[in-house]
Amino acid sequence: MIRDITIGQYYPVDSVLHRLDPRTKLFGTMAFIVSLFLADHILSYVVATVFLAVAIRMSRVPLSFMVRGLKAIVFLLLISVSFNLFLTDGEEIFHIWILRVTKEGVRMAGFMAVRLIYLVVGSSIMTLTTTPNQLTDGLEKSLGFLKKVKVPVHEIAMMMSIALRFIPILVEETDKIMKAQMARGADFESGGLIQKAKSMVPLLVPLFISAFRRATDLAMAMEARCYHGGEGRTKMKPLRYAPRDRVAYAAFAVYLAAMVGTRVLV
Amino acid sequence: MAIRAEHLTFVYNQGTALEQKALDDVSFEIPDGQFVGVIGHTGSGKSTLIQHLNGLIKPTSGKIYYNGEDIYGEGYSLKTLRSKVGLVFQYPEHQLFEVDVISDVCYGPRNLGLSPEEARQRAEEALRLVGMKEKYWQQSPFELSGGQKRRVAIAGVLAMNPDVLILDEPTAGLDPRGRDEILDEVKELHKKRGMTILLVSHSMEDMARYAQRLLVMNHGRKAFDGTPKEVFEHYKELESMGLAAPQVTYIAHALRERGLAVEEDITTVEEARDAILRLFGKE
């Protein structure tokens, strides 16, 4: 159940995507997300689908694993789809009571659903093929110029990597506490909304306590090893672009051109 | 025949790169009122095994019967099962959440649908069983010491009135005194209430002292199943599994190697004392 959340999880296999420089994947994913919001024609979505399918294939991560990550956004998906479906003005197809479904609404809702799903799958590809450490390294290096204007890039990157690193730990912890409370007869599934929210208290209180405990432990362990921020800190594996990163950038450029092309020309 | 497990196999993350076989064709039967110890190296499948017994994990294949009924059979209530087979997790104090001790212990019975009065009565009884004094009952569980927190958590499971009590390393992280107290209380539950006990532990001394039967897990398989004396005879094989026999067993063996007539199957300090005193001619 709770283990199904795959966002932020690393999938350890060896593939071309795994070997890419994290910066390439980071910029690529950003470009992909932006391109999704540019797209407003069915053809653009075909291009995006093909691109995504190739990326999934190349990552060698089973599709089922990525799709499982979608369960986490089902609720969000439902809300945004129904909003678009019922609240868009235009040519009416049919209506039930006060809910009007229009041609434009169906179109918008469909696009919205595809966008959200691709957004999650696209960013899952990045996190599934990049270890949190690589990801932070990539972020830190690409945003390094912000240090000049006194943005604590290293600290932010460190916080992010710790946050990402803790997702699976907290998921596991949640699973454990859930089981412990279920062993005491807790029921997290049945009941109405209020009942369900109430049943979360025995889960959330221990979870928060454990998160804080882990945070203080980690802070202590880092300080014990003389961590004092980014100043003068060197890297064991400095990031360097390889030829395959150039190829990847070229692929992204072609993809973006295709996306812009479908928007401008069609 | 309280609990029967037949050919249990469990695979974590099936169908992914992270696939891992945690249990591999494990079968056993635990009669009512037995005190069973479960030992095994870290990652040998002990914790996975015990979570099967109250239906928290569904086996990939195999069957579990409680009092002859298949717990995954049609219409079998897992909630009822969980009240009959109480499971105390490792570091159970991490599950405490209520504002005071007594309400936390009431959580289990309340989930069973008991009235507040009945629940409170059961909670009080359970707290007395684990030796928590009345003055602590209104305190926040987070203000208590480690050992006390653990007792409250164990009471939280006992308050459900289980027939079988499973404890996953109930003494981990406690000082020697807290450890002995908790184990003695578990022994009392077994003796006075006739509860079936399943105790997971890393301490061979504790096992020799408390358990009537030992299940040894190794790489997801059942390696040995017998009385502690029978199992600890295989101390060489146990060592190859990252386990060991109690220290006095080694002393007894060393004494025998030097030609002293002590029994081979000594597993507790008391037995060793008696054997050595006998050598000196004193009973």
Q: Are the Cβ atoms of A206 and B56 closer than 8 angstroms?
A: no
In a domain, B257, yes or no: no
pTM of the model: 0.73
Q: Which of B16, B18, B82 sits opposite A182 (nearest CB)?
A: B82
CB-based contact, B58 to chain A, within 8 Å: no
Shortest Cα–Cα distance, B95 to chain A (Å): 6
Give the pLDDT score at B146. Answer: 86
Q: Is the domain of B154 the same as that of B167?
A: no
DSSP annotation string for B176-203: HHHHHHHHHHHHHHHHHH--EEEEE-S-
Q: What phi and psi values does residue A239 have, to the nearest 5 degrees?
A: -80, 130
Domain boundary at B213, B228, B243, which?
B228
Instruction: List the domain range (segments joined by +) for residue B212.
Output: 1-76+163-228
Give the B window 118-137 contacts with A, CB below 8 Å.
none
CA distances from A157 to A62, A136, A144, A213, B207 (A): 29, 5, 10, 22, 48
Q: Are the Cβ atoms of B94 and A180 closer than 8 angstroms?
A: yes
Q: Is the domain of B118 the same as that of B5?
A: no
Residues B262, B267, B272, B275: is their CA dihedral positive or negative?
negative
In a domain, B11, yes or no: yes
Average confidence score pLDDT of chain B: 90
Q: Are the Cβ atoms of B51 and A179 closer than 8 angstroms?
A: yes
In a domain, B45, yes or no: yes
Q: Is the domain of B133 the same as that of B198?
A: no
Taking every pair of Cα atoms in chain A, the longest distance, rounded to a whole number of angstroms, is 67
Tell me the pLDDT band of B17, cut-offs 50, 70 and 90. low
Domain boundary at B179, B198, B228, which?
B228
Q: Are the Cβ atoms of A183 and B157 closer than 8 angstroms?
A: yes
CB-based contact, B68 to chain A, within 8 Å: no
Q: Are the Cβ atoms of A62 and B107 closer than 8 angstroms?
A: no
Q: Is the domain of B7 the same as that of B47?
A: yes
Residue of B nearest to A13 (CA): B17
Domain boundary at B117, B133, B158, which?
B158
In a domain, B245, yes or no: no
In a domain, B243, yes or no: no
Q: Is the domain of B152 the same as that of B169?
A: no
Q: Is the domain of B174 the same as that of B139?
A: no
Q: Is the domain of B56 the same as that of B181?
A: yes
Decide if pLDDT at B227 tops 80.
Answer: yes
In chain B, how many domains are there? 2
ipTM of the complex: 0.87
**Residue B166: enclosing H or E segment and its boundaries?**
strand B164-168
CA distances from B172 to A170, B123, B146, B184, B194 (A): 21, 24, 11, 15, 25
B contacts of A13 (beta carbons < 8 Å): 17
In a domain, B83, yes or no: no
Q: Show which residues on chain A lie within 8 Å of chain B, measured between beta carbons.
A: 11-13, 62, 64-65, 176-177, 179-187, 201-202, 205-206, 209-210
Decide if pLDDT at B283 tops 70.
Answer: no
Q: Is the domain of B113 the same as that of B172?
A: no
Shortest Cα–Cα distance, B12 to chain A (Å): 11
Tens digits of pLDDT across chain A (266 residues): 445 555 557 788 888 888 899 999 999 999 999 998 888 788 888 888 999 999 988 888 888 777 777 877 888 888 888 888 887 777 777 777 777 778 888 888 888 889 889 988 888 888 888 887 788 888 888 888 888 888 888 888 888 878 877 888 888 899 999 999 999 988 887 778 888 888 889 999 999 999 999 999 999 999 999 888 777 788 888 888 889 999 999 999 999 888 888 888 76
In a domain, B57, yes or no: yes
CB-based contact, B107 to chain A, within 8 Å: yes
Q: Is the domain of B102 the same as that of B123?
A: yes
Q: Is the domain of B53 the same as that of B169?
A: yes
Q: Is the domain of B116 the same as that of B72?
A: no
Least confident of A76-90, B87-101, B130-144: A76-90
Q: Which 3 state secondary structure label does DSSP give B165? A: strand
Q: Are the Cβ atoms of A184 and B111 closer than 8 angstroms?
A: yes
A contacts of B17 (beta carbons < 8 Å): 11-13
CATH of the domain at B6: 3.40.50.300
Tell me the pLDDT band of B191, cut-offs 50, 70 and 90. very high
